[in-house]
Structure 1
Amino acid sequence: MNCILLFIEYGVIKITIVLFLLAGLGEIGGGYLIWLWLREGRPFYFGVFGGIALALYGVVATFQSFPSFGRVYAAYGGVFIILSVLWGWGVDKKAPDLYDWIGAIICLVGVSVMLWAPRN
């Protein structure tokens, strides 16, 4: 019985992580497309696709199974920070320094506490 509960809990954690990653890609990718359109003179459709991606981010985040909007969005904020550091490194070619990594790890620990700490 404990193995079944552990398997179910592991599945919930995996789904949570995937949803946070999808939401993050929607928000960061959408914001980046709008940035390219408005700040770097890319075509209008960059802005349109960016707006669509941002709207999808808002929808994907609602699929989380946690009952509290505030907790989900606060935890997502930590995930967003980590994804932003990785986006800057991979897309903008700006390597994070030691303090970026320390801050990202602190955020990840905070997100884990907020989402999965035992509560009554």
Structure 2
Amino acid sequence: MTAFAFVFAALAEIAGCFAFWAWIRLGKSVLWIAPGIASLCLFAWLLTIPDADNAGRSYAAYGGVYVVSAVLWLWLVEGARPDRWDLLGAVVCLVGAGIIFFGPRAAGAA
């Protein structure tokens, strides 16, 4: 369920932010912000789903999934092919996210 929540949260966050980008930077209609706001609300709700003891740890782990998703957005939606540095950075972030989220912790430790 965590992977599902993180992947769909990333999609919702990127889509919501892109709606504002389209309005402000691409000259699209101001009406783009309505689905953008809805998407950002969905993003916030999805981040409450993962089973984590601390919100900050969950958000930090989500960050790696977000970076990978943003690189995929760059490629699939914007049509800009990621270079090796984009891919290497995304992999490093995803590995870091895994360490944060799945790292062993002593009972009651912060």
The percentage of counterpart residues that share the same residue type is 38
What is the TM-score when the length of structure 2 is the normalising length? 0.91
Aligned residue in 2 for 1:70: 56
Aligned residue in 1 for 2:29: 43
Q: Are positions 1:94 and 2:80 aligned together?
A: yes
The AA in structure 2 aligned to 1:63 is: I
Please identify runs of 4+ aligned residues in structure 1 that moved more than 2 A.
none
Query: Which structure 1 segments of 5+ residues have no match?
Result: 1-14
Deviation digits for residues 71-93 of structure 1, max 9, x if unmatched? 01111111111111010011111
Equivalenced residues, count: 106
RMSD between aligned residues: 0.9
The AA in structure 1 aligned to 2:39 is: A
What is the TM-score when the length of structure 1 is the normalising length? 0.84
Deviation digits for residues 33-60 of structure 1, max 9, x if unmatched? 1111122221222111001101110111
Q: How does 1:24-35 map to 2 (within 5 A)?
A: 24-35=10-21
Q: Are positions 1:53 and 2:36 aligned together?
A: no
- Return the alpha-carbon distance in structure 2 between the equivalents of residues 23 and 69 of structure 1: 14
Query: Which structure 2 segments of 5+ residues have no match?
Result: none
Q: Which has the higher contact order (CA 8 A, sep 6+)?
A: 2
Larger Rg computed on CA atoms: 1
Counterpart of 1:103 (choices 86, 89, 95) is 89
